[in-house]
Homo-oligomer: A and B are copies of this chain.
Amino acid sequence: MRTQLVSKSTGVLADGREIIYFDESPGLRRAEVQDTRDLPASAQGGPVVVTAEAGLRWDPLLGEWVVLAAQRQNRTFLPPTDLCPLCPSRPGRPTEIPAADYDVVVFENRFPSLRGAGVAGAEPAGAAAADVTAGWQLGAQRPAFGRCEVVCFTSDHDASFASLTPRRARTVVQAWADRSATLGAMPGIAQVYCFENRGEEIGVTLHHPHGQVYAFPFVTPRTARMLAQARAYQLGGRRNLFDDLVASELAAGTRVVARNEHWTAFVPAAARWPFEVMIFPAVRVASIPALGDPARTAFCDLYLDVLRRLDGMFGIRMPYIAAWHQAPVGDAFAQAEFGLHLQVMAVRRAPGKLKYQAGTESGMGVWIGDVTPEDAALRLREAG
């Protein structure tokens, strides 16, 4: 890890939330920058408890926790540009970021779905990950313990991840690695999830280029399923599911979108989204922090290339969800066998047509694909 790449400094916002600057130039004296706002103290302190509006609720029919975060219903919703809370502060117009400029900045979400991780005394009794997943009792509830952070990719309100320089993308990777390691080490955290929602079409409420980090107190349903599949695959006498999947995609070739020495981007054979791209490293690791520096740098080249192909597909910004799949932190099998990858789910299937999760998807969990994965890959290759 070339730590000299990025200078990290930590501050505190007016309501007690943490803010972390990832600067490409050292010596910016971030500690001297004060948040001048008169904010009510955040609810970050004190033990996290179940309330009528916030908690984890057990769904006994599917065996999954659902996060109730009704206190977020009134969160900031598509504010006009001059009120963007993710832009740097200007004199007389303070935002969430007290500094007058920044490269990449991370701060605790003002409207968190999960909170308390890393806060002394906030961890609820019995919040250990293993305990939280054992919820057979009908109507079981747990505190919504965890942490939600916002990652601003650039101070330029009108930019996008796709328009970042490779250097800036590399700083974002550094921030993801830092947050994954830091939040993953907090007591009671089972899994760290870095992601980006992009586009009003999927409900994005702030246009400023940003992503999010969620630290969950349980292993998420999709990750649990992947781990169960990987276990069953090995028990069936096979090797590693992730390794074999990438090898089979490289052998087939028809769904590969782009690749370099360290990464392969392909449309999965069973894609659920019109343009879905999986990006796997050539050498399997379990998490972003485990990526070496050359792999981190090479990722930026490939990911920027993929995002620009997606934007170029219809000549309009492609709405997407970009999801980093990492191993749960406390699971030895997962740490040894899970394959880190980024999944980009682009939801536009044609100009003016979006993919919806309607009756078969939402009711049965059965996805109906409208675009062949091979055609999607071909079109993405040609969009380069």
Task: Show the binding face of A for B, using Cβ within 8 Å.
Answer: 52-53, 57-70, 72-73, 77, 113, 136, 138-139, 193, 195-197, 202-204, 212, 214, 216, 220-223, 225-226, 228-229, 232-233, 236, 241, 244-245, 248, 252, 268-272, 321, 323, 325, 343, 345, 349-350, 353-360, 362-375
A60 in contact with B233 (CB, 8 Å): yes
Known contacts being A369-B70, A370-B69, A371-B70, is A323 close to B248, with CB within 8 Å?
no
Contacts of A241 in B (CB 8 A): 60-61
Contacts of A221 in B (CB 8 A): 364-366
A76 to chain B, nearest CB (A): 13
Contact of A67 among B53, B57, B193, B366 (CB under 8 A): B366
B321 in contact with A65 (CB, 8 Å): no
Known contacts being A73-B370, A136-B236, A366-B221, is A66 close to B245, with CB within 8 Å?
no
Contacts of A70 in B (CB 8 A): 369-372, 375
4 smallest A-B Cβ distances: which pairs? A203-B356, A323-B363, A221-B365, A59-B270
A112 to chain B, nearest CB (A): 10
Contact of A353 among B77, B195, B355 (CB under 8 A): B77
Contacts of A61 in B (CB 8 A): 225-226, 229, 241, 245, 268
A358 in contact with B197 (CB, 8 Å): yes
CA distance A175 to B175 in the complex (A): 56
Among residues of B, the one whose C-beta sits closest to the C-beta of A359 is B195
A136 in contact with B233 (CB, 8 Å): yes
CA distance A229 to B64 in the complex (A): 10
B271 in contact with A62 (CB, 8 Å): no
CA distance A218 to B335 in the complex (A): 33
Interface of A: prevailing SS:
mixed
CA distance A42 to B368 in the complex (A): 20
Count of identical protomers in the assembly: 2
What are 9 inter-chain pairs, A to B, with CB distance below 8 A? A60-B270, A66-B366, A68-B373, A70-B370, A70-B372, A70-B375, A221-B364, A222-B363, A321-B363
Contact of A321 among B138, B202, B222, B359 (CB under 8 A): B359
A288 to chain B, nearest CB (A): 15
A33 to chain B, nearest CB (A): 29
A323 in contact with B371 (CB, 8 Å): no
Contacts of A225 in B (CB 8 A): 61-63, 365
A154 to chain B, nearest CB (A): 19
B358 in contact with A68 (CB, 8 Å): no
Q: Known contacts A61-B268, A196-B359; can you find 13 more A-B pairs with CB under 8 A?
A: A60-B270, A67-B368, A70-B370, A73-B349, A77-B353, A138-B245, A203-B358, A220-B364, A220-B365, A221-B364, A222-B365, A225-B365, A325-B363
Among residues of B, the one whose C-beta sits closest to the C-beta of A77 is B353
Contacts of A374 in B (CB 8 A): 52
A353 to chain B, nearest CB (A): 7
A338 to chain B, nearest CB (A): 11
